[in-house]
Amino acid sequence: MPEGALEIDRVSKRYGDVVALDEMSLTVHGGEMLGFVGSNGAGKTTTMRIALGVLAADSGEVRYDGAPVDRTTRSRIGYMPEERGLYPKMKVSEQLQYLGELHGLPRADAVRSANRWTERLGLAERREDQLQKLSLGNQQRVQLAAALVHDPSVLILDEPFSGLDPVAVEVMSTVLREMRDQGVPVVFSSHQLELVQRLCDRVGIVRRGSMVADGTVEELRSSGPTRLTVHAPEAPADWAEGLPGVTVESRENGRTALRLDDTADDQRVLRAALATGPVHEFSRERPSLTELFRDVVTEETDE
């Protein structure tokens, strides 16, 4: 059972004048699923291509199970590229068998594995079809099968969920969870933040080639400014004005949404609210991953 971690350690990469990666670091442990999120052009694909070894880094190191990734470890990686590079005219089963053999499986094992994954991914009826005759969603299932056919010890997937219908999303999610539960480190990029929040053990947010936030969804959601909702129906409109470190974000039907920075004292806010009359609600709101992500992107735009 694979247990090793995939570590990307301060990897930098330039394309001419463009700094694609600036000391990017991330670790995915065995048995863990990491969601890799960031705006367009932030550096996700470049990171994954370097991890796979199809692109060389200018500096930094990629390690699996503590050792630098070499040709042998590379063949243990299952990769689903964004550009979906399969052969359009080849039959589904032939293609998967060929890829299995290319990764070192004996022919009989490659055939067995291709059959197993096509069955598992709902493609059994399409085995003898050319790839180009399949719908885009089914082509994507074949691409996942291609990443899995050699029974990889690490899974790296570039936007595996993009363009999938809800049933296919469930199939893909279940398979990735199973791989994770077998001890495989799984990392995938995605712009579908709700899906990432639901599926992943950890999330890494990348901005301009560096990791800017990394943790469990819970850790990320409890970081950042505190947001409070206070329902004090008799309070005057300006009840929270002037409280140190407190910004009023909105006020509607007696409910005030507040943002507290590090200098604010929530107990002082509560006392101020009680001083106006009854308080029916005093609750801390935690941001969703989408809101956290928006904060990071906004910072980027502001710079």
Ligand X SMILES: Nc1ncnc2c1ncn2[C@@H]1O[C@H](COP(=O)(O)OP(=O)(O)OP(=O)(O)O)[C@@H](O)[C@H]1O
Dihedral of the CA atoms 247, 248, 249, 253 (nearest 10)? Answer: 160
Contact predicate 234/276, CB 8 Å: yes
Give dist(CA 36, CA 78) in Å, integer. 16
Question: How is the beta sheet containing 255-260 ordered, strand by strand?
Answer: 246-252, 255-260, 226-231, 281-285
Restricting to residues 89-148, name those near ligand X by CB under 6 A.
none
Q: In terms of Cα–Cα distance, which of 54, 302, 294, 48 is closest to 191?
A: 294
Smallest distance, Å, CB 281 to ligand X? Answer: 39
Dihedral of the CA atoms 143, 147, 151, 155 (nearest 10)? Answer: -140
Give dist(CA 89, CA 134) in Å, integer. 11
Smallest distance, Å, CB 41 to ligand X? Answer: 4
For the chain, give the longest Cα–Cα distance.
Answer: 78
Q: Contact between 56 and ligand X (CB under 6 A)?
A: no
Smallest distance, Å, CB 54 to ligand X? Answer: 12
Size of the site for ligand X (CB under 6 A): 11
Q: Contact between 67 and ligand X (CB under 6 A)?
A: no
Residue (44 or 150) nearer to ligand X, CB: 44
Q: Contact between 190 and ligand X (CB under 6 A)?
A: no
Residue (15 or 87) nearer to ligand X, CB: 15
Smallest distance, Å, CB 252 to ligand X? Answer: 36
Which of 11, 45, 57, 172 forms a contact with ligand X (CB under 6 A)?
A: 45
Residue (205 or 232) nearer to ligand X, CB: 205
Restricting to residues 233-252, name those near ligand X by CB under 6 A.
none
Smallest distance, Å, CB 196 to ligand X? Answer: 13
Stretch of 41-49, 88-96, 136-144, 257-265 contacting ligand X, by CB under 6 A: 41-49
Give dist(CA 247, CA 257) in Å, integer. 9
Contact predicate 62/6, CB 8 Å: yes
Q: Contact between 20 and ligand X (CB under 6 A)?
A: yes
Which of 4, 7, 44, 144 forms a contact with ligand X (CB under 6 A)?
A: 44
Which of 3, 41, 174, 177 forms a contact with ligand X (CB under 6 A)?
A: 41
Give dist(CA 34, CA 22) in Å, integer. 20
Which of 8, 11, 30, 46 forms a contact with ligand X (CB under 6 A)?
A: 46
Which of 30, 31, 35, 43 forms a contact with ligand X (CB under 6 A)?
A: 43
Q: Contact between 40 and ligand X (CB under 6 A)?
A: yes
State the sign of the Cα–Cα–Cα–Cα dihedral 278, 284, 287, 292.
positive
Give dist(CA 175, CA 41) in Å, integer. 28
Binding site for ligand X (CB under 6 A): 15, 18, 20, 38, 40-46
